Amino acid sequence: MTKFDIQESKRTVSILTDWWEGLGFGMNAQNFKNMDFADIGKLLTDGKNLGGLANRIYFGLWNGVSTWPTDPSAPATIELAGTQTGDVVMKAGKRMFELYTTEDAAKLDINVIREEVGKGYELLLHVFAPGLHKKLLGFMNATKNEDLVMIAQDSAGQNYLMGCVIRSAKFSASDGSGTGSTTDGRLGLGMTFAYRSANLYVYSGNIPLTEAVGSV
């Protein structure tokens, strides 16, 4: 009986591992086996290294995306291993939209998730939109339970895509929302959006801010 129980335990672990890898979080060292590593210096363009995000983010509905960019497969260089190729292409009549966020009030946190030999990342996008106007409240009402695609831009102009063909970004929390308690307090909505990914990439494609045309 003892041997039978141990076999069942191993079989269960195997099933869970397969499930996790099926979601895109499996071991992918094989993909990078032949990659050429390189020295990594400061890599600062003209000495620029400001933190934070631009004071606007971009969002759309996940089910409005027709085509997603491609993640690197067996990249030849370490730089290619961190770069997505291609564009986010929306379905006909769909596009992404811009959301203003207060200066120095937006950030992108990157956290490691899961245990050894199965690690992935969770991206947490924090924004603060000023005011409690109807359009902003409507945005929160409409997106709080929706699957989203989001793009954030850092101070160096690099874009980070939150969303892929099998996973979406989701509204996660509301931090610091409300009227504030004093006249010099912050009036507005603080929002956090979460997305989980097997790897980290820079998105170098277009941001589709005009409606797509065609029959896609």
pLDDT tens string for the chain (216 positions)? 555 444 444 444 443 444 444 445 444 555 667 787 888 887 777 777 889 999 999 999 999 999 999 998 888 888 899 999 999 999 999 999 999 999 999 999 999 998 777 889 999 999 999 999 999 999 999 999 999 999 999 998 999 999 999 999 999 998 888 888 888 888 999 999 999 999 999 999 999 999 998 755
C-alpha closest to that of 141 among 194, 211, 191: 191
Amino acid 147: pLDDT = 98
Per DSSP bridges, beta strands 202-203 and 83-84 are: parallel
Distance CA 193, CA 161 (A): 12
pTM: predicted TM-score of the whole model, two decimal places: 0.81
How many CB atoms neighbour CB 127 within 10 A? 26
Amino acid 204: pLDDT = 94
Per DSSP bridges, beta strands 53-61 and 148-154 are: antiparallel
E strand spans, the chain? 53-61, 65-67, 83-84, 89-90, 97-100, 107-113, 120-130, 148-154, 159-162, 170-174, 188-197, 202-203
